[in-house]
Amino acid sequence: MYQVDFHKPIHVHFIGIGGISMSGLAEILLSEGFTVSGSDMKASELTDHLKEKGAVIAIGQRAENITSPDLVVYTAAIRPDNPEFREAVDRGIPMLSRADLLGELMNNYREAVNIAGTHGKTTTTSMITNILLEASKDPTVSVGGSLDSIGGNVRIGGSDLFVAEACEYTNSFLSFHPTIAVILNVEADHLDFFKDLDDIRKSFRRFVQTLPQDERGLLVLNGDITDRSFFTEGMGCSVVTFGSSEDCDYSARDIVFDELARASYTLLRSGREAGRVHLGVPGEHNVYNSLAAIAVADRLGIPLATTLKGLESYTGVRRRFEYKGKVNGFTILDDYAHHPQEITATLAAAARYPHRKIHVIFQPHTYTRTKALLPEFAEALMAADEVILADIYAAREKNTIGISSADIGDLINTSGGRAVYIPTFEKIKQYVLETVQEGDLLITMGAGNVVDIADQLISE
């Protein structure tokens, strides 16, 4: 595999440079003196930002965009018939996937912290980042969302500490080289790639094997995961656990919520009270995300008082239970939840948030996920007073399996809930303005572009 050495800057071309992860990697290389070029199908704030930093970016993907790079980097969405991909292959230019490049970059840092799990990665990565900033650790960070405290999705630090999300899709995280790995949860998802949950669990075990298999490697594992010994048996790295049981190394006691659903709790380390934690973000699920963050901070030698300040000052990342504003007296929130467990966690937090009724505009993400988890989606969404279903966001797929958002609505309605399927955003906005009342809570939910409805309601 091509070795990327910060001491030997080269010319790197990114196919799909406008993606949130690709743009972050490009910015890291620019900061290290690399020459960066790239292409994407449309301009965006991210591509404009990279241009300002010195990248040469083409809109549209054509063979002539491949000039004379030393290395070409591509995303999992790029197919072999892509003109730039094909040109690089024909010319014998070295190539790396996005995941391979991210793994190579980790080798340039003494400590690499990777946060993995079916959900919660962006929030936990952001919590850890906020703690490190509070401790003046000056980390380099790559996060899958826009974090206000770092001014975007990437931070260029000056220390030997690198923090990044580790996504399991297409086994990307198996290309990484962490010294500290966090596993938040392991559940059925991305079933267009994985065979089943057992296949996913095997992939996460292989991720644990990417750690140094001695005291230099640390696994921070959710102790509530079914048969957690599967991930640790035969491993030589250190292991600490967090979870709901006081048998875990890190757990919480006396959890209470304020009027905005933000939790505070007594931290237990190995069953002993260590202090009171106050979170700046809502929901019980964030209690457990914060426990994982505390475990990482302890490993990095950060005083608990500093860790607690970092957690309390962390107020969230965009598209994670994000307050958007008020319209006609009802409150609008936006959330990235696109898996049944994420929906359950978000609606549990919403139940503690001031409201009269809860309305959810849900946009399912990908046909395969909707088909595979159809009953689970319906059950999770039943926690809302009303569900407004938008069309499925296709992402990388085509609807070859005959699934529709209306299928979720049918299950909800036959189970005693209330759901309505409205195919266009414009008609959804009209419906909302006619039916949602003062004091209600409206949540736009999904990993696609459903947030546009919230933005348009506010702006109009």
Pairing of strands 262-269, 272-282: antiparallel
- Measured distance CA(160)–CA(112) in Å, rounded: 8
Phi, psi of 225 (to 5 degrees): -65, 135
Q: Which residue among the candidates 104, 111, 121, 386 is catalytic per the annotation?
A: 121
What angle, 0 to 180 degrees and rounded to 10, lies between the N-to-C axes of helices 20-31 and 45-53?
A: 10
- Evaluate whether 53 touches 30 at the Cβ level (below 8 Å): yes
Other CB atoms closer than 10 Å to residue 72's CB: what's the count? 25
Question: Among this protein's residues, is 427 annotated catalytic?
Answer: no
The answer for residues whose C-beta is within 8 angstroms of residue 369's C-beta and 6 or more apart is 189, 190, 191, 192, 338, 339
Q: Which residue among the candidates 75, 122, 124, 366 is catalytic per the annotation?
A: 122
Other CB atoms closer than 10 Å to residue 232's CB: what's the count? 14
Amino acid of residue 380: A
- Measured distance CA(75)–CA(11) in Å, rounded: 18
Alpha helices in 280-332 (DSSP H): 285-299, 304-313
Q: Which residue among the candidates 104, 111, 134, 165 is catalytic per the annotation?
A: 165
Burial (CB < 10 A; 0-12, 13-18, 19+), residue 434, is exposed
- Measured distance CA(158)–CA(138) in Å, rounded: 6
- Evaluate whether 353 touches 346 at the Cβ level (below 8 Å): no
Amino acid of residue 63: A
| Alpha-carbon separation of residue 253 from 108, 228, 271, 291, 303 (angstroms) | 39, 22, 10, 12, 21
Question: Among this protein's residues, is 426 annotated catalytic?
Answer: no
Helix (H, G, I), strand (E, B) or coil at 97: strand
CA of residue 399 relative to chain centroid, distance: 25
DSSP for 404-452, please give it.
-HHHHHHHHHHTT--EEE--SHHHHHHHHHHH--TT-EEEEE-SSSTHH
Residues 366, 371, 375, 377, Cα dihedral to 10°: 0
What are the residue numbers of the active site? 121-122, 165
